[in-house]
């Protein structure tokens, strides 16, 4: 007699689209029905976040806001007005504003990889959410299929009972 498969083996077979024997399907269905398979992706992700991940998220949040854009445009305008108009003869950074270009390049060089780290982490989070949705959909599909089979069985039994009752009446 074949050994009983573990939950891990059953789920692995199912997720790899291998054919399951009917006995194995019953085991898997029982396991899926009795135990929750969904997870809260946000809580799971928050529990595994490192300090760098939190900083990257915060930088992305700030850099992608209207407040940042407005403040940064204001800073640029003030820099140009102060160095181009008010301090035209003794400007810290005279036109063509080479120091400003250097500052902007440094900010972009630091900000871009930090935002990419945040986006990569968000992509992993989305992937985890998609896998979770797949498991939930799979469980729902299996439960509905099982319910459908049970309903068919009930209807079949009901027809047999009705035939039996009708035969006794006659």
Distance from CA of residue 78 to its chain's centroid? 42
* Whether the model pTM is above 0.85: no
Residue 43, both tokens: 């809580």
Give the up-direction half-sphere exposure of residue 153: CA atoms within 13 A in the CB hemisphere. Answer: 6
State residue 87's pLDDT score: 81
Going residue by residue through the chain (170 aa), what tens digit of pLDDT does each one get? 345 555 556 565 665 555 556 666 666 666 666 666 667 777 777 788 889 888 888 988 998 899 999 999 999 999 999 888 888 788 888 888 999 999 999 999 999 999 999 999 999 889 888 888 887 887 788 788 888 889 999 999 999 999 999 988 87
Structure tokens at 75: 């800073």
71's enclosing H/E stretch is helix 66-81
- Residue 114's alpha-carbon distances to 60, 101, 122, 124, 161, in angstroms, are 7, 20, 12, 16, 70
pLDDT at 1: 38
Contact 68, 62 (CB under 8 A): yes
Alpha carbon dihedral 105, 108, 109, 113, in 10-degree steps, equals -170
pLDDT given at position 5: 58
Nearest Cα neighbor of 97 from 113, 75, 112 is 75
**CA-to-CA distance for 41 and 120, rounded, in angstroms?**
15
């Amino acid at each position: 007699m074949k050994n009983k498969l573990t939950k891990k083996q059953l789920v692995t077979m199912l997720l790899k689209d291998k054919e399951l024997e009917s006995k194995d399907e019953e085991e898997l269905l029982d396991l899926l029905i009795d135990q929750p398979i969904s997870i809260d992706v946000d809580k799971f992700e928050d529990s595994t976040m490192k300090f760098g991940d939190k900083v990257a998220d915060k930088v992305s949040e700030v850099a992608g806001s209207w407040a940042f854009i407005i403040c940064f445009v204001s800073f640029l305008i003030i820099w140009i007005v102060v160095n181009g108009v008010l301090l035209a003869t003794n400007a810290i950074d005279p036109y063509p504003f080479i120091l400003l270009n250097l500052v902007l390049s440094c900010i972009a060089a630091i900000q871009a990889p930090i935002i990419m780290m945040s986006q990569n982490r968000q992509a992993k989070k989305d992937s985890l959410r998609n896998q979770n949705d797949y498991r939930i959909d799979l469980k729902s599909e299996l439960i509905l299929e099982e319910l459908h089979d049970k309903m068919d069985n009930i209807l079949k039994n009901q027809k047999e009972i009705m035939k039996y009752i009708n035969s006794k009446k006659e």
